[in-house]
Structure 1
Amino acid sequence: MHSVTAIVVAHDGARWLQETLTAVLRQTRPLDRVVGVDNGSRDGSGRLLAQAFGEHNVLSLSRSAGFGEAVHEVLRRLPAAQEQQAQEWVWLLHDDCAPDAGALQALLWAADQDPKAAILGPKLCDWLDRRVLLEIGVTVSRSGRRDTGLEPREYDQGQHDEIHDVLSVSTAGMLIRRDVWDELSGLDPDLPLFRDDLDLCWRARVAGHRVLNVTDAVAWHAEASSRRRRRISTRDEHPRRLDRRNALFVIMANLPFWALVRSVVRNVSGSLVRTLLFLLAKQPANALDEVAALGSVLGHPGRLRRARKARRNGRKQGYPAVARLLTPPGAALRRLTDMVQGFLAGGAPVDSAGRHHAVAADSSDDDDGDELLTDSRVFQRVLGSPGVLLTFALVAVALLAERRLLTGDLLGGGLLVPVTGSASDLWRFYLEGHHAAGLGSDTWAPPYVAVLAGLSALFLGKTWLAVGVLLLGCVPLAGLSAYAATKRIIPYTPARIWLAATYALLPVATGAVAGGRIGTALLLVLLPVYAGLATRVVAGSRRAAWGLGLLLAVGAAFVPLVYVLVAVLGALAAVSFAGVRKGAGLSLAIGLGTPLLLLLPWLAEVVREPGRMLMEAGLRDVTLADPRLGPESLLLLSPGGPGVPPVWTVAGLIAVALTALLLRRRRMHVVVGWGVMLFGVLVAIVVSRLTAGSMPAWPGVPLAFAATGLLLAAAHPAHRLARLRAAGGVRRIGALLIVVAAFATPLASAGFWIVSGADGPLERGARDPMPVLATLGTREGEGTLLLRPRDGEVAYTLLRGRAPLIGESDLVPAADARGRFGAAVAGLASGRGGPYTQTLASMGVRFVSVPGKIGPELRRALDSNPEMARMSLSDSGGLWRVTVPVTVPPPSTGADSTHRIWLWAQGALLVLVLVLASPGARTAEPEEDYGESSPDGTPRGRRRAREDRVPA
């Protein structure tokens, strides 16, 4: 025999309360007593309670009273049931929780089946979409993260229907025995809202009682407080902060001591990671909530100590019954991974609900099979993606073409210095104020050294691996980048595939690989991203502007000319769109101004030598450009030099782009693409006639811009080909000819590249320029002079005890030291020796090395020098040692303090730009019209989803 008292607590819940009260009063198992509590409502909730239950059955409390305090006050005033042998139950209900007519009967039936059942809860479904499951019991991780065991918006199809042994049920519909309530002292008054149900059920299980979820009992819950559909007044705290704080408090108050210690460590580290993710997602309020919640618990040890003392009895003995129901420890890593994935996908880094059911039984084989099936489908979907298949095809082409570059010793040749050193060596080189390499220099290390150091760190510190992937893998990487970045610009998938394949196999790309042009290789990967971001920048997107500025700084660090090209196009875009689209001008200013700030110290040095704007990362005294490049090559996007296919391979692309000019629709996109193409070709013509230092400049970078514009012009209207093919007749034949011409370009380029190979002058097995004898014979700071005779002149390099690192060739020594050293080298090579050898010795030169076959004049000049002694001579080179005393010049320290300040400023600015460029929060907050219910129990109001975006 049972006696049931229903307690409905209301707080500004009038828009749900009427339906809740109707549902309570129409239960198939009549209630013995009903009591309403109004916690200071201002919307007429108290009046609705009085109308339903009678004035004498309604209690009014202050607006700051919590749910637990309201129930405590009712039971304090309410005498126990007088019926003999009656089991008294208390049914707790929120004002936004409407139980099904048979809910109470189902709960009492389940209680009759298990004498140990002390707390029972119904299956909770969504108030609006009543097919959606909210809870079938709740568990929690050891870090306090709530876990329902349900997928987001999982529909109720009876898949969970049974009586579950759970850790906790919600106070929305909780049925609890009155004697157990009195034994446990009810809900904790220190938890006025959120997680009070978890704490009560935890204590009940520790005391030996059972907590059950009964799925035959159903209630519909609006979750108004947790979903912020009404303002909460309890302690004036934000709902998320209050929820997180109470979760930590419950965990730390109920765990045994050693489990508590582990939980503190886990929560401190986890909160730091989540705070960082919230900050990167530009959610400072959520980051503050995370920190404040943890600080509120740990900052009040007295409160926590009192709570643990109150729960001390039975904690150690009863904890095993709770531990088996907690979320498995491995789920914490999955939850953190989900947060990171959500952040990287551009959404808010929210906690995952997890897939671990809050039941006592182990996962069944069927569940494992479902997970494996899901993983298999995801795997098949990924492998079946056109972008992935295209990347695999380009990887296969690159492997065949680069077959002689995949194995061997050092990778080097062309503009690429043989790759030596590690990530730590590159970081040391970039951060030092004075560089002892060569003649010594106080100039800034080129910023691309820092980029390569960061990439090398991702490849376990192996610079050779990072450079190899970037240079040898630039073709598939450029194809993948072009396919992904043009998703919004070119929605027609076959056109995107063609665009990406053609772009990846441009003559510029194959020429960049053969010439060891790591700067151009990186730029080919970044250029489609520039195009994709630019379309959003002109629309006024701040986040896209910061992202464009950051990536433009990376590209300009390798190839300074790229900034000039983008700046000119940006200025044209500003004139065209700044007055039409709101915010476009400011976004363009951010995108173009950010690289100037990030590269400022080094960029100022480049501007002082305008010829360096035409150079790119790599050796400065190597020429691979063709000084006799004809206009037909430039018009057909061929930059000349090694590794470039015949000019006719690009004829198909030109023909398709010309055909696009004939279309009437989308003409603006075609014209803009052709405009970019003509701009790139004009710049390429100018660049091909200039010199970078004493070497002719390579027009590959502006031709890459030209090709990008041409590809966009040709691909944008490509979806109309499908209509032409469907029309039949002449139009169908014309469409097929266009398709054949389009795909002829990537197929011809791939075939030529595979047949001719990608090597030359780039090679695998490049020699270490430092002779072994010189390496063993030099002391710290002493150098080895490398002489390379060429066309009647002698080029030289000074090595300080090791092979040069990437970027050291860009250092500019002081003008007086460079002049003295150059004159001494000329005197030494001419056979005059004497004072010139003394000059070299005073600048730290211990050895003179001539790699390769040595001409007789240079050999006689070195052998006849009385202040030098030959150590070796063969067809592979010769080595001489300076016999006079060698002086190592002292390092300069004058610029260290200024350099250090700039580094700190640069690092702070980089962090700021990364935060501003990172994805912002996107939260879908339901907005409803809560009307009366229809006859079948579903609300007449319909939900309208609203997407709130945090501005970048």
Structure 2
Amino acid sequence: MEPETQNAPPVVAVVVVHEPGDWFEETLDALADQDYPNLRFLFLLTGPSRSTPSGVLGGSGAGAASDGVDAVETVIERRLPNAFVRDLGANVGFGGAANEVLRLVEGQNGFFLFCHDDIAPDRDAVRLLVEELYRSNAGVVGPKLVQWDDPGVLESVGLSLDRFGEVDQAIEPGEVDQEQHDGVRDVFVIPSAMMLVRADLFRELDGFDAAIELHGEDIEFCWRVHHSGARVVVAPSARARHRSDLVARRPDLNHTRIAARHRLRTVATMTGLARLPGRVLELVVLTVASLVVGLFTGRFRQGVAALRSLLGLIPRLPSIVARRRAVSSIRQVPEREVLGLQQRGSAQLNSFLRSRETTTYVGSTTSVRRWRESTTAPVIAWIVVLSLLLLGSRSALAGGVPPVGEFLRFPDSPRDLLAAYTSGWNPHGLGATEANPTGLAILSVLSFTTLFRMGLLQTVFLIGIVVVGLIGLWKLATVFPSTRARIAALVVYAASPLVGAAYAIGSLDVLVAFAAVPWILHTLRRAVGVEMADPQAARSDMADGLVELSWPERLRRTMQFAIVVALGAAFVPVVVALAVVLGVLLAVGTLLALAPWRTALHYVLVTGAGVLVALLLNIPWVSTWSWDRIVGPSPIGDPGRGLRELASFEIGPIDFASLTLALYLPVVGAILLARAWRLTWAVRSGVIVVGFGFLAVLGDRGALPFSAPQAGVLLVPVAAGLAISAAAALAAFDLDVRGGSFGWRQPLGIASSIAIAVGVFPGVVGITSGDWNAP
């Protein structure tokens, strides 16, 4: 063994230890078991606390409690008697602690193996890293990292980096290791959890940036390595388990803010001088965009942290300039070559788009993230639906929207809308001194999208509002994992005769309700925590794909619901009443489906809180509301439509309207066929259909003790309920009926599918005129 030890280049394993837990002994065992013959160990102890968790020693004795550092040293000496242990006292961060090797170890030969204290490499990991470093002539090489408790799941196989310092993983969360990433390749960053570095290179670069205590020391170091001309390589044949629970170990730190601050510091110090002004401008745009997107995607904190860190660069300019001077001497490679090694575009944007291709499924005990079903059917369905909508609106697109009913011409200038909103004078009727609708201000802002062409704005607004409703319905239908079910919901809602009838009679109230109701249902169920259930758990009795929400997340989702209600009410106040009734009916449907009563309670509480915020957002207009103002003027005379006309949405000129009655068969079919969470949604949609249908009939007959909204507004939730019932029926047929023994369930499922095809026929026929039969 002696000749082999002498021939093998020396490797010093530098392990930074900070108040380890009971897993530390496993780390020591893995390091002690390495088969590399010339390996030495340097343990650097950090941390202000002089106590150590009892798990380190496997128990809590009086001697261990009296001096935690001595206890850690005892454990290290027991496993690695020849290791050198140094207590650094204060916690200077991983980079600052690791830099002590420059002072404690002499010589330019050999390698430094930097490790966290929660790493457990395989027995041959160090040897394979050294071999690959020589084979690839690299400066830094790292292993494949897998999860500590589940080594079959990947954690990292090297990291990519964009020019904004954002890391992009080559793997997806929870991706199983099937040797799909086992090829040796160049990467931009090797995580500091375990990296092998040439000793001479580490000394030449003066180690890690001591100003980066944690979160980003590996990014900054590897960026300098690339500037020096050395290679950074990942060797997946070497494997190590990693706990990676820094957030849990240091709950006293704001990790999001620290990571953002160090990321922007690295970009400011490592970007070439010629490209720095443009990079700063790009960072400003990207930060503002992340704030806007984060408001709706749950990443608002990251956006705020990035903004604070960007502004924080200003008072740190002297230290940044000094750091740029310090690293200028190691720039041996042109900036364009280093930029070519980085990922193009924005890693943050790419990660967001890639996350759209995966879906989180809620199971009975845990949630899993898997790739979505790969199919072009949704794209084709959307192309067909939007094409038919544009075909049916071809007259309005060519010559503008005719001034029918509530479709009054917009003013010639957006300033007129804004002046009307701020004037405090309502010109309707005999005129009155009162606040005007909030929608006037919104329309004046939207005029930017059409370059202040108000006629075009009216056309785009009245047609686009239908598209908004269809997108909301699609979002709502994502509670069903079946693509066929979601497409059925989209088609049923898009083909609702309400759309053509609203255009024909010029009903803005119906169109706004058509846009708002699906978004109200979607944001409300998300605020409650109801998400897509796992189709692989179809045989379970899970009543809902329910996830536990933290208070900040529930508050954020409730505010989204409030914003949707506020936007709808800014144009049509009756949206507030629709939101209240929808929340109550969802709670009733939840109880009737025997789902947890807490879910029903959350529906009521979220509805109440969201509606209250929506009212506040419409101040001062809300001060002028009365019940008659909310529901709108009563129709002249007794419409006397009757049950058939209302059930078939015949509020305007519609051909073959009676065929729409076929859509009610899936309402019954879904309840009879579905199980588990499919049954819950079938009951909820059925309650919405019956509840609002009952209100529409009583309101049409004047049998309610109060003034009712116009029938078309009350029928919009019925149309949404029919769409969700259609989706539930098809989902039940796919998961609960197909593959079972033949009986009455199969014919009922087939009949429901046929009924959907028949029921959408009147809506499709309505596009033929091109003007929706408007006068």
Q: TM-score, normalised by structure 1?
A: 0.62
Equivalent residue number for residue 760 of structure 2? 746
Q: Distance in 2 between matches of 1:119 and 1:659?
A: 63
Q: How do 1:241-390 and structure 2 match up within 5 A?
A: 241-275=257-291, 277-278=293-294, 286=302, 289-294=305-310, 297-315=313-331, 317-320=332-335, 323-324=338-339, 326-328=341-343, 330-332=344-346, 335-336=348-349, 338-339=351-352, 381=374, 383-385=376-378, 388-390=379-381
Q: Distance in 2 between matches of 1:135 and 1:569?
A: 45
Q: CA deviation at 1:42?
A: 1.9
State which structure, 1 or 2, has the greater radius of gyration over its C-alpha atoms.
1
* Amino acid aligned to 1:53: L
Q: Distance in 1 between matches of 2:101 and 2:429?
A: 86
Whether the 8 Å contact between 1:5 and 1:89 is mirrored in structure 2 is yes
Q: Summarize deviations over 1:617-652 as a string: whole Å, max 9, x none.
A: xxxxxx9x77563435555455555x2346634443
* Amino acid aligned to 1:614: G
Identity over aligned residues, as a percent?
A: 26
Judge which range, 491-500 or 408-417, deviates more: 491-500
* Amino acid aligned to 1:11: H
Whether the 8 Å contact between 1:688 and 1:699 is mirrored in structure 2 is no
Q: Summarize deviations over 1:504-532 as a string: whole Å, max 9, x none.
A: 44443322111222331221232333344
**Aligned counterpart in structure 2 of residue 35 of structure 1, from 25, 37, 42:** 42
Whether the 8 Å contact between 1:679 and 1:706 is mirrored in structure 2 is no
Q: How do 1:532-543 and structure 2 match up within 5 A?
A: 532-533=522-523
Q: How do 1:649-660 and structure 2 match up within 5 A?
A: 649-653=659-663
CA RMSD of the aligned region, Å? Answer: 4.9
Q: How do 1:497-536 and structure 2 match up within 5 A?
A: 500-533=490-523
Distance 1:496 1:165, change over 3 A: closer
Q: Distance in 2 between matches of 1:588 and 1:495?
A: 27
User: 3-state DSSP class of the match of 1:258?
Assistant: coil
Equivalent residue number for residue 945 of structure 1? none
Q: Distance in 1 between matches of 2:650 and 2:266?
A: 68
Equivalent residue number for residue 57 of structure 1? 84
Q: Does 2:658 match 1:648?
A: yes
* Amino acid aligned to 1:384: A
Q: Distance in 1 between matches of 2:528 and 2:646?
A: 29
Q: Distance in 2 between matches of 1:295 and 1:748?
A: 58
Q: Does 2:101 match 1:91?
A: no
* Amino acid aligned to 2:345: A
User: 3-state DSSP class of the match of 1:34?
Assistant: strand
Equivalent residue number for residue 208 of structure 2? 187
Q: Distance in 1 between matches of 2:290 and 2:674?
A: 52
Equivalent residue number for residue 165 of structure 2? 144
Distance 1:714 1:681, change over 3 A: farther
Equivalent residue number for residue 629 of structure 1? 640
Whether the 8 Å contact between 2:144 and 2:236 is mirrored in structure 1 is yes
Q: Distance in 1 between matches of 2:317 and 2:224?
A: 21
Q: Distance in 2 between matches of 1:714 and 1:224?
A: 45
Q: CA deviation at 1:590?
A: 1.8
Equivalent residue number for residue 485 of structure 1? 476
Q: CA deviation at 1:416?
A: 1.8
Equivalent residue number for residue 847 of structure 1? none
* Amino acid aligned to 1:747: F
Q: Which runs of 5+ in 2 are unaligned?
A: 1-6, 57-71, 361-370, 531-553
Q: How do 1:229-240 and structure 2 match up within 5 A?
A: 229-231=248-250, 237-240=253-256
Whether the 8 Å contact between 1:256 and 1:319 is mirrored in structure 2 is no
* Amino acid aligned to 1:103: A
* Amino acid aligned to 1:685: R
Whether the 8 Å contact between 1:649 and 1:749 is mirrored in structure 2 is no
Equivalent residue number for residue 588 of structure 1? 607
Whether the 8 Å contact between 1:145 and 1:247 is mirrored in structure 2 is yes
User: 3-state DSSP class of the match of 1:331?
Assistant: coil
Q: Summarize deviations over 1:534-567 as a string: whole Å, max 9, x none.
A: 5567889655654444333333444444544554
The size of the alignment, in residue pairs, is 701
Q: Distance in 2 between matches of 1:216 and 1:562?
A: 57
**Aligned counterpart in structure 2 of residue 412 of structure 1, from 383, 403, 417:** 403
Q: CA deviation at 1:62?
A: 0.8
Equivalent residue number for residue 211 of structure 1? 231
Q: How do 1:551-566 and structure 2 match up within 5 A?
A: 551-564=564-577, 566=579
Q: TM-score, normalised by structure 2?
A: 0.74
Q: Distance in 1 between matches of 2:442 and 2:11?
A: 70
* Amino acid aligned to 1:412: P
* Amino acid aligned to 1:383: T
Equivalent residue number for residue 605 of structure 1? 624
Q: Does 2:244 match 1:224?
A: yes
Q: Distance in 2 between matches of 1:305 and 1:473?
A: 51
Q: Distance in 2 between matches of 1:733 and 1:214?
A: 58
Q: CA deviation at 1:263?
A: 3.8
User: 3-state DSSP class of the match of 2:329?
Assistant: coil
Q: CA deviation at 1:679?
A: 1.9
User: 3-state DSSP class of the match of 2:406?
Assistant: coil
**Aligned counterpart in structure 2 of residue 614 of structure 1, from 609, 632, 644:** 632
Whether the 8 Å contact between 1:391 and 1:480 is mirrored in structure 2 is no
Whether the 8 Å contact between 1:542 and 1:587 is mirrored in structure 2 is no
Whether the 8 Å contact between 1:277 and 1:340 is mirrored in structure 2 is no
- Flag the structure with higher helix content: 2
Whether the 8 Å contact between 1:499 and 1:711 is mirrored in structure 2 is yes
Q: How do 1:710-859 and structure 2 match up within 5 A?
A: 740=754, 743-751=757-765, 753-754=766-767, 758-762=771-775
Q: CA deviation at 1:30?
A: 0.8
User: 3-state DSSP class of the match of 2:613?
Assistant: helix
User: 3-state DSSP class of the match of 1:323?
Assistant: helix
Whether the 8 Å contact between 1:538 and 1:588 is mirrored in structure 2 is no
Judge which range, 43-52 or 104-113, deviates more: 104-113
Q: Distance in 2 between matches of 1:659 and 1:202?
A: 61
Q: CA deviation at 1:274?
A: 3.6
